[in-house]
Structure 1
Amino acid sequence: MHSSQLHELIDIAAEIHKSKPIAYPENMALRLLNHQHIFVLPFLKNSDFHLDTIQNGLQELALIYRHDAALKTEIAKVGEQYLSKGDTLLHGDYYPGSWMTKANHTYVIDPEFSFMGFVEFDIGVMAAHTIMITMNIDCLESIKNRYPKTLNANLLAKVAGIEIMRRLIGLAQLPLKRSIEEKKLLLEMARTLILI
């Protein structure tokens, strides 16, 4: 991802976040579904979804994090905040599957998960995918500096870490071409971000 693309995505998110709807649906049914896929299912000790069908060695790697009580406590806290009512309109699924580029224009699609929440959720999800693309967490600082309002750095990091983990060891797998060693490194980065 080029820095100009990242800047444009941050700017689009900021525009969405500036919207002040008079009333907005809670969208709780989809949020509860998303909550399960982000904060619960990837971290179940006993899951019917065997990750070695995705990539050999991934199941064993996942078990490290599925048995990490401190990690799961932090994830649960962010999950509670995700379900609480916020004051900012969010896209709710701000990742590459919701971005389209055509003729040097970027479009954001699929707002069905939108809700009133906290800005660090959208920005953290975007940051997670940037980290997975670049294999570098330094983008968090660039994102914080570009976003026009102050972000809670710890919450941003936690959301980014959770999104990385759920995309690597959860049900919502991506067509991510990474070796098992690279995924191990990404999961270690993610754990560090969550436990900041």
Structure 2
Amino acid sequence: MKHVEELTADKASLESYLKGQGWLQLNEKITALEIPGAGNMNFTIRVKTGERSFIVKQSREYVEKFPQVPAPSERALREAEFYQLVSNKSLLNEKMPKLIGVDKKNHVLNLEDLGHGVDYTFLYQKGEHIDEAELKQIMTFIANLHKAINTKTTDTRLPNRKMRKLNHEHIFIYPYLEDNGLNLDDVLPGLRAAGKPFKQDEALKKKVGKLGDRYLQDGNTLLHGDYFPGSWLKTNDGIKIIDPEFCFFGEVEFEIGVTLAHLKMADQPDKLVEKALRFYKDRSALNESLCKQFMAVEILRRILGLAQLPLSLDLEKRKELLNEAQSILIPE
């Protein structure tokens, strides 16, 4: 088993590592280290020197925020492969951080620093709405990705099976387990009782299982894989897209279904959710029925599963969304 050097925020040891990689000049000193955002998955740090700043990102064999949760240690390398695939597509790479370097042995990326941006998770707060022009940019980027990189345009494939397996468990399995280690009443009093009928709905679970099988199948199109407000960054240079570590070649309906689900859980107006779908469909083909089914699955998993969001929705609104999701998956 190969030895992996775990990076820390210790300035001296990090400086030594970066010089060993050739990512710092011999006479270049770290002047400051900062946490660039509220990420969960990886060790991520902003490195500042007298001349510049950049982002160092390492994936471990566990989730950084929850060390008890195992995760594929090579996921940063899959993210690197994504950046390499989009590197010659100007409409895509101008919206993403540039990949400066990769340390394959230690699963470390050296990425362009996009500055002190803020992600769009503020949308989950009560009364926050996304600007229509910004939403159009977000949906245009993902449509451009799907049109530009697919099995017709590249021989490269990016299965990312280990990350897909992890995601599959969290999306399609854990939310429906009676005892999955999460007391939903700790999230919101009354949510446990509200969720019980959905965990016991055998027809619903069967339908979710079939969609899970589709998710695990290889598809024709490169997906970002986790296209939600936490992956959209508002910066001084406009909107940027980050964290494609769940990327794989799959079905576009999964990608857009996830996006629409988060707009709904962020309590965005129905007309904005409809516009998001239209912005995408104006540029790229989509099976709307399948998309809505994946949207329903994402709503169920985020409200009932382990990957909770900072939602401001009250219990009645969450129940309303759960019932809507159920009616999409099991129409009367």
- The answer to whether TM tops 0.5 is yes
| Structure 1 segments (4+ residues) deviating >3 Å | 135-141
Aligned to 1:3: 132
Aligned to 1:15: 144
Contact 2:297/2:325 (8 A) holds in 1: yes
For 1:90 and 1:118, how far apart are their aligned partners in 2?
A: 8
For 1:149 and 1:167, how far apart are their aligned partners in 2?
A: 27
Aligned to 1:116: 249
How many Å apart are 1:143 and its aligned residue?
Answer: 3.3
For 1:129 and 1:100, how far apart are their aligned partners in 2?
A: 15
Contact 2:260/2:277 (8 A) holds in 1: no
How many Å apart are 1:21 and its aligned residue?
Answer: 3.4
For 1:68 and 1:75, how far apart are their aligned partners in 2?
A: 11
- Which of 1 and 2 has higher RCO (CA within 8 Å, sep 6+)? 1
When structure 1 is superposed on structure 2, of 102-111 and 83-92 the one drifting more is 102-111
1:33-76, Cα deviation, whole Å (9 max, x unpaired): 00000011001133332111111111111111001111111111
Tell me which protein shows more helix as a share of its residues. Answer: 1
Q: What one-letter code is carried by the residue in structure 2 that aligns with 1:83?
A: L
CA-based RMSD of the aligned residues comes to: 1.6
How many Å apart are 1:2 and its aligned residue?
Answer: 2.4
Q: Within the alignment, does 1:163 sit opposite 2:298 as a pair?
A: yes
How many Å apart are 1:141 and its aligned residue?
Answer: 3.8
When structure 1 is superposed on structure 2, of 114-123 and 69-78 the one drifting more is 69-78
TM-score normalised per structure 1: 0.93
Q: Residues 105, 5 of structure 1: CA spacing in aligned structure 2 closer, same or farther, 3 A cutoff? A: same
Percentage of matched positions with identical amino acids = 38
Unaligned runs of 5+ residues in structure 1 are: none
SS in structure 1 at match of 2:189: coil
1:94 to 219, 227, 231: 227
How many Å apart are 1:140 and its aligned residue?
Answer: 5.1
2:320 to 161, 166, 185: 185
How many Å apart are 1:137 and its aligned residue?
Answer: 5.0
1:125-162, Cα deviation, whole Å (9 max, x unpaired): 11001111236555554333222222111111011111
Aligned to 1:48: 181
